[in-house]
A and B are shown apart, each in its own frame.
Chain A
Amino acid sequence: AQSVTQPDARVTVSEGASLQLRCKYSYSGTPYLFWYVQYPRQGLQLLLKYYSGDPVVQGVNGFEAEFIKSNSSFHLRKASVHWSDSAVYFCAVSASTGNYKYVFGAGTRLKVIA
């Protein structure tokens, strides 16, 4: 079975600073990996996805993530954050073999301060 750990429940960064949100997964097979963002009282929006190939994937709004198989990690990065990036970010994993189960981490609440 798959599992996801997001070790940082809350992260605070200054506007314009760089960002890294951590995600580690556990799955014995080949994973599919995702990052989502959730704004208050809204559904989740897909930021980026990794299926195969280039381990660095680009997403929307300047976000990118790197799949490091040896470390079972899929950290999310952004070079320069904006106050509007304040939200909750979820990492998720599924099996590439298609068991229709998508497991989400606990989420990281990002606060961007002036």
Chain B
Amino acid sequence: AQTIHQWPVAEIKAVGSPLSLGCTIKGKSSPNLYWYWQATGGTLQQLFYSITVGQVESVVQLNLSASRPKDDQFILSTEKLLLSHSGFYLCAWSRANQAPLFGEGTRLSVL
């Protein structure tokens, strides 16, 4: 069975500091990978997707970047955090054009 793991579970960071969030998928080769952001009490906003190693497409610009260094790994990062980056970050994977399946998320508080 496939498993998806996000790290860290939660982060408290200062404005202007760097950030790196990670996501690993086990048990599935060449998955499509996605990053979503969710404001507290809000809907999900798709940030990035990747269908192959080394290739990442941006869906919305939020002063964040993403990379896929390995087939099973997806990284979300920024060099300078903003207050508006606070929220819940969710990684998901899917086969081809199928329903995304989500990880447990990382809660980020920027102070």
Point out residues on A near B: beta carbons under 8 Å: 32, 34, 36, 41-46, 49, 90, 94, 96, 98, 100-107
Q: Given the complex, which residues of A lie within 8 Å of B21, measured CB to CB?
A: none
CA distance A41 to B90 in the complex (A): 11
**Cβ of A90 and Cβ of B105 under 8 Å apart?**
no
CA distance A105 to B45 in the complex (A): 10
CA distance A102 to B43 in the complex (A): 12
Q: Which of B34, B43, B51, B90 has the most CB of A within 10 A?
A: B43
**Contacts A100-B57, A101-B46 known; A42 to B97 CB distance under 8 Å?**
no
Point out residues on B near A: beta carbons under 8 Å: 32, 34, 42-44, 46, 49, 51, 57, 59, 90, 92, 96-105, 107
Q: Return the contact of A44 from the options B32, B90, B107 (Cβ within 8 A).
A: B90
Q: Given the complex, which residues of B lie within 8 Å of A45, measured CB to CB?
A: 102
**Cβ of B97 and Cβ of A32 under 8 Å apart?**
yes
CB distance from B24 to the nearest CB of A (A): 14
Q: Which of A42, A94, A102, A103 has the most CB of B within 10 A?
A: A102
**Cβ of B49 and Cβ of A100 under 8 Å apart?**
yes
Q: Return the contact of B43 from the options A41, A42, A96, A107 (Cβ within 8 A).
A: A107
**Cβ of A98 and Cβ of B96 under 8 Å apart?**
yes
Q: Return the contact of A106 from the options B43, B90, B98 (Cβ within 8 A).
A: B43
A-B contact sample (13 more), CB < 8 A, given A34-B99, A41-B107, A100-B34: A32-B99, A45-B102, A46-B101, A49-B98, A90-B43, A100-B51, A101-B59, A102-B34, A102-B100, A104-B43, A105-B43, A106-B42, A107-B42
CA distance A46 to B2 in the complex (A): 14
| Nearest A residue (CB) for B106 | A43
Q: Given the complex, which residues of B lie within 8 Å of A94, measured CB to CB?
A: 97
**Cβ of B99 and Cβ of A49 under 8 Å apart?**
yes
CB distance from A82 to the nearest CB of B (A): 23
